[in-house]
């Protein structure tokens, strides 16, 4: 970080005291806010970066994480992807046996020409 005056990464004004360092910039404590919801991001909390601004975990999950095309909930772990569609493993069922898939079965899932997902063993 450069020496000299500290300029806030959000409001571009001088910081005289009590600053936060994040995303390789100095910030007034009250200016280090989530770019999505505007809530002050605590200096000890984990956050994400979007276009040079902090984004809190909740907003990142709700706004920037892929959503399941079946249940429409965010997918925070591993996922099935086919033709730009995203699925939780447990939301997508085998067309033949009706059982949901599990992430550890990934290498034994077949996608048929008609787009159906099936277990290799079915």
Kindly give the confidence (pLDDT) of every residue in the chain, 122 residues in length, as a single tens digit, with 9 standing for 90 and above.
657 789 999 999 999 888 999 999 999 999 999 999 999 998 788 999 999 999 999 999 989 899 999 999 999 888 999 999 999 999 999 999 999 998 898 899 999 989 899 999 99
pTM for this structure?
Answer: 0.65
The H-assigned helical ranges of the chain are 57-59
- 74-112 in b/e form (b: 16+ CB < 10 A) is bbeeebbeeeeebbbbebbebeeeeeebeeeeeeebeee
What is the predicted pLDDT for the residue at 27? Answer: 95
Q: Pick from 47, 69, 43: which is nearest to 57 by CA?
A: 47
Unique residue bearing structure tokens 């571009």: 12
What is the predicted pLDDT for the residue at 1? Answer: 60
Give, rounded to a whole angstrom, the gap between the first and last alpha carbons of the chain.
59
Our measurement of the distance from residue 69's CA atom to the centroid of its chain's CA atoms, rounded to an integer in Å, reads: 16
CA distances from 74 to 5, 46, 63, 81, 83 (A): 41, 18, 9, 14, 18
Asked if 26 and 7 touch (Cβ cutoff 8 Å), the reply is: yes
């Amino acid at each position: 970080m450069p020496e000299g005056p500290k300029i806030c990464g959000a409001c571009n004004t001088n910081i005289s005291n009590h600053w936060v360092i994040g995303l390789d910039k100095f910030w007034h404590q009250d200016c280090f806010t989530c770019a999505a919801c505007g809530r002050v991001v605590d200096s000890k909390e984990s956050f994400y970066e979007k276009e040079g601004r902090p984004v809190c975990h909740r907003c990142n999950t709700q706004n920037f994480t892929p959503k399941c095309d079946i249940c429409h909930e965010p997918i925070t772990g591993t996922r099935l992807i086919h033709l730009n569609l995203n699925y939780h493993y447990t939301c997508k069922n085998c067309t033949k046996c009706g059982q949901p898939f599990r992430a550890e079965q990934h290498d034994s899932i077949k996608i048929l020409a008609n787009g159906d997902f099936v277990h290799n063993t079915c």
